[in-house]
Chain A
Amino acid sequence: MSSAWGYELPVILGLYLLAIMYIGYYSYKKRKGVTAHDFFLASRLLGYIVLGVGLFATIASGNTFVGYSGKAYRAGLFFMVAPAFYVSILVGLLLVAPRLIPLASKKGYISPGDFFQDRFKSRALTLILVLTMFWATFVQFFEQSIAMGYIGNVASGGYLPYSISAAIFMAVVIFVMLVGGFRGTALANFVMGAVMIAGMIGFMVVILPTLGGAGALAKVAQTLPSKVAPPTGIKLTTWFSTLLLVLFGILCYFQIAMYLMAAKDFGTWRKTYWYTPAIYVMVPTLFVIGGIIGLAIFPGLSTLQSDKIVPMLLAKAASISPLGYGFSELLLIAVVSATLSTAAAVIFSLGMVLARDIYTKYINPRADEKRVIWVSKGIMVALAILGYIIVMTPHFTLWRWVELKFEIGMQAVPALLLGLYVPWANKKGIGAGLVTGVILAIALNALGYPKIMGWHSGVLCFFLNFVIAIIVSYATRRKEEIEEAKRLMSIVSEGS
């Protein structure tokens, strides 16, 4: 595959990475003092274009750009569920944004733990909630390492060995995060998000037609009709369950909370909704189409081979026409962008939360802001080194990682939703539901029941968690706790 690309690809990639590093330096020059507020949230000064495109780049990971076509190759058009669950992310964000953003702004929250501690007044519950969310975010960190494994030497045209290209990628991410803080990470993600969108437009307009377009798709419809059949019965249940899994599961990511809390106000945030639905539909849909075209061009691939279908399609398009070659290179840069942008946001948010919610709250409560920033930087470097030394053969497909992280991580989400909307939701109810949900979700997956009658076990545990949280909270409600929660919520009503 490496023979498909010329020497210009690693040169372009190198220049691109230098430009990304410059954004980190530019952000350093634009910093507003050395405060946790500025380093972790860019002083809440980012506009809606940077926030929306940057968040898209954060959400659309190497898994989206490498794994989704592979999944579509195996599952067929059932994986049209991908654009549906991508847009469900916007629903999930809308459930918390109108309250969390003004609260974070007024109360000075920087991390999810700040909200949990303020709302439920329990260090133990806050710790369990943060650790549950940590699981999901940390699995995504592993996932990015695996994705880098797939694209490492392909994106450099095969001219750089994987170990060197992965080290370069990680060095770029670390430089942008440490020097630029959240401002640098978000601005770099914005630029990478724009490159990803440009790459996808090229994929749609040039690469897919070069690979046969509608003719190749029609060939699959004729030769493999089961791959394009509409879902029925238990598949429809799984489709519905997947929407629930992602809609609520996305809220357990630290980096999502970080982007929400970095918004100046809800009015700024909702402006992102004017363009994000189009992007969230277009990107996964095109990768599904790519996977189906892959069925026509490369039939009979194994599961692990099919996870590499995107690089195979790009090499094929590059061999057909010069235009296909050029746009395939652009998409390779976009694949690198997808991986780097998600890795940067994930590592940054992990460093921020571990420093803010674990170090400051449980180890050194007297630490000043500069020390917290330095601790977070140390954690980010340690995570990047860990990411680099991860050498693993994936026993799961990329998609299985997505499901596992959400199934456990989403058990923390009832605390967020009930904490924001239900004054009588209390630590006893949230704790009872959370512990039950996490234990059951782990047990069902460990016992070999990832799905029950088409439903993801984590989704069923989530609803049980939710019901237990409501019942126990109501049964143990106390007037003074309710009054205190109402006072906190009334802050939102003062406007933002």
Chain B
Amino acid sequence: MRTSIKLIIITIIYLIFATPWYFSFKTNWPLVLGIPLWAFLMIFIILGLGYLIAYIAHTIKPEEVKAE
């Protein structure tokens, strides 16, 4: 896959999943370690997305980056 397309896709994926629109429960309960579940989950979702970005960065081989 072209590098530019790969970068556009990862940007869109990040923007969509790092925004908590998809939590169907609009409530503060239950609490996990004192904070609502939605906030607790967000920490790990963002962390997971961060490492997805790291993985994508390592799939880009410098010598494959061409004028597209």
Contacts and interface: CB of A to CB of B under 8 A. Distances in A.
A94 B4 CA distance: 11
26 contacts: A80-B39, A80-B43, A87-B46, A90-B50, A91-B53, A213-B34, A217-B31, A217-B33, A218-B31, A221-B31, A221-B36, A225-B28, A229-B26, A230-B26, A230-B39, A239-B19, A247-B11, A247-B14, A266-B60, A273-B53, A281-B47, A285-B43, A421-B68, A423-B67, A493-B66, A495-B63
Contacts of A239: 19-20
B62 A236 contact: no
Contacts of B35: 77, 217, 221, 228, 289, 292
A91 B57 CA distance: 9
Interface in B16-41: 18-21, 23, 25-29, 31, 33-36, 38-39
Contact of A273 (B27, B31, B54, B66): B54
Contact of A230 (B23, B50, B62): B23
Contacts of A421: 4, 68
Contacts of B21: 236, 240
A289 B34 CA distance: 10
Contacts of B65: 98-99, 102, 266, 492-493
A466 to B, nearest CB: 13
Interface in A215-241: 215-218, 221, 225, 228-232, 236, 239-240
Interface string A239-282: 11001100100000000000000000111001001101110110
Which interface class (under 10, 10 to 19, 20 to 34, 35 or more) fits A? 35 or more
Interface string A78-106: 00100110011011001101110010000
B1 interface: no
Contacts of A205: none
B14 A88 contact: yes
A486 B68 CA distance: 9
A83 B46 contact: yes
Contacts of B39: 77, 80, 228, 230
A272 B15 CA distance: 21
Nearest to A296: B34
Contacts of A304: none
A215 B67 CA distance: 56
A490 B63 CA distance: 11
Interface residues of B, number: 43
A265 B39 CA distance: 37
A493 B63 contact: yes
Contact of B36 (A95, A228, A247, A278): A228
A269 to B, nearest CB: 8
Interface string A463-483: 000000000000000000000
Contact of B46 (A84, A216, A489): A84
Contact of B20 (A95, A213, A230): A230
B18 A84 contact: yes
A280 B50 contact: yes
A214 interface: yes
B14 A91 contact: yes
B53 A94 contact: yes
A490 B67 CA distance: 5
B28 A94 contact: no
Contact of A87 (B18, B28, B38, B60): B18
Nearest to A239: B19
A276 B57 CA distance: 12
Contacts of B31: 214, 217-218, 221
Contacts of A273: 53-54, 57-58
Contact of A277 (B29, B47, B66): B47
Interface in A266-317: 266-267, 270, 273-274, 276-278, 280-281, 285, 289, 292
A281 B45 CA distance: 10
Interface string A91-125: 10011011100100000000000000000000000
A384 B14 CA distance: 38
B33 A214 contact: yes
Contacts of B54: 90, 270, 273-274, 276-277
